[in-house]
Amino acid sequence: MEKIFVPPIKSQGIKTKLVGWINSNINGIEYKRWVEPFMGTGAVAFNVRPKTALLCDSNPHLINFYKSLQTKEISSGIVKSFLTEEGNNLLKSNGEHYYIVRDRFNKNGNPLDFLFLSRACFNGMMRFNKNGGFNVPFCRKPNRFAQALVTKISNQVEYISEIISYSDYTFLNQDFKETLKQINPSDLVYADPPYLGRHVDYFDSWSEEDEIALNNGLKNSNAKYILSTWLSNKYRTNNYIFSVWKDCRISTKEHFYHVGAKEDNRNAVYEAILSNFEMSDSIANSTMKKRIENNESQLTTKVKTYSTPVQMSLVLEEEKSAKLLK
C-alpha cells in the first residue's frame, strides 16, 4: 500500500489510520473538486491529493495554519528554526516554557505557536475552552523537540507546502452550513463531523440538529458524498446510521476482524464510512441493519435507544476508559 502521509498538526479526530481505506473506496470515482466541510488536520485531503479542493473548518487556527503555508508566511525552514529555538527554551525551563507559549498563543493566535502547542501538549489533543482558549496541558517531556523530531515536523510542513503550491486549494474558516451552500453537483464531499454525543469543545460541538442539517444539505447538493462516522463500541451502536443516514450505503471493517472480535477489542471504536453512491466495498445500510438485528454482525450488538442522561453517563464512562478525562 502507498505510504500514508502524517500531517504536522495533531488532533484526537485525525483520520491517518483510515485514509488508506477511504482512498481504496473512492478509487475510480470521478469528480471535479474535493470538498471537506470539516478538514481538521487535513490528513485525508493531503493523502487523497486532489487537484482542486475546498477545505473548511470552524476552527480558525487550523485554517490559519494552512493559509500561512499557502501564502509562504510559513515555510519548512521557518518551522525548523522556530521549533529548535522554542524547543531549547522548553528544555531549559524544564517544561515551564510550554505555558508561556500557550498564553502567548491565546493572546495572538500565531500559527507557529499553534504548531508548537499541538506537538508539545498532552496526547496531541486539541481542546479549547468556552472563550476559545487552547487549554490542553503540557505532555511533561521537556526534551520534546529533539533534533530528529524537529526535522520530521519540518519535512511534514515541506510536503504539505509543496502539495498546496501545485494545487488549487481554498481554505475557509466557516461553519459547515456555509460550506454546504457552496457545493456543486460535480464535487465529491468528504464529511468528517465531530462524532455525535462524544467530544465537545468550543470549536467542536455537535448536536442532533447539526447531524440532520448535514444530512439535508448533502442530499440537496446533489453531489456525491462520503461520511465518516462510528459504528459501535462495547457500549452501544450508533443508531443515527440507521435513522438519519438510512438511505446510504455503508462500508465497515467487519471482515478484518475474526469471530469473537467483540471480546478481543474491548476498548475499540469501530468506524464506518457511509456514502450516497456505490463504493467498492459497501453494502446497503438496510442490509447492515438486518445483519445486526439477526446478530450476524461481529462488530455490533442490536441498536439500543438510551435516554439522554443514560447516554451522557455512557459517554463519560467511555471517555474515562479512553483516558481522555484526567
Ligand X SMILES: C[S@@+](CC[C@H](N)C(=O)[O-])C[C@H]1O[C@@H](n2cnc3c(N)ncnc32)[C@H](O)[C@@H]1O
Which residues make up the interface to ligand X (CB under 6 A)?
11, 13-15, 37-38, 40-41, 43-44, 57-59, 175-176, 192-194, 203-204, 206
Q: Which is nearer to ligand X, 117 or 292 (CB)?
A: 117
- Sign, CA dihedral 216-219-224-229, equals positive
* Residue 192: other Cβ atoms inside 10 A: 22
Closest by CA to 36, choosing from 63, 18, 11, 10, is 63
Q: Which is nearer to ligand X, 204 or 271 (CB)?
A: 204
CA distance 57 to 98: 26
Least Å from the CB of residue 207 to ligand X? 10
> Amino acid letter at 290?
K
Comparing CB distances to ligand X, the nearer of 86 and 204 is 204
What are the residue ranges of helices labelled H in 39-110? 43-48, 60-70, 76-92, 97-108
User: Is the CB of 2 or the CB of 263 nearer to ligand X?
Assistant: 2
- Would you say 86 or 192 has its CB closer to ligand X? 192
Smallest gap from Cβ 15 to ligand X, in A, equals 4
For ligand X, give the closer residue by CB, 91 or 213: 213
The cell numbers describing 20, all together, are: 488508506
Nearest distance in Å: CB 52, ligand X:
18
Question: What's the min distance (Å) between Cβ of 176 and ligand X?
Answer: 4
Rounded-to-integer distance, Cα 46 and Cα 112, Å: 20
- Nearest CB to ligand X, comparing residues 55 and 250: 55
Beta strands in 9-61 (DSSP E): 33-36, 52-57
In angstroms, the CA 4 to CA 1 distance is 9
Q: How far is the CB of 58 from ligand X (least distance, A)?
A: 4
Least distance to ligand X, CB of residue 113, Å: 18
Shortest separation between residue 295's beta carbon and ligand X, angstroms: 30
CB-nearest residue to ligand X: 40
Burial class (CB in 10 A: 0-12, 13-18, 19+), 71: exposed
What three-state secondary structure class fits 250?
strand
Residue 54 near residue 179, CB atoms below 8 Å: yes
- In 3D, which of 212, 168, 208 has the Cα closest to residue 35? 168
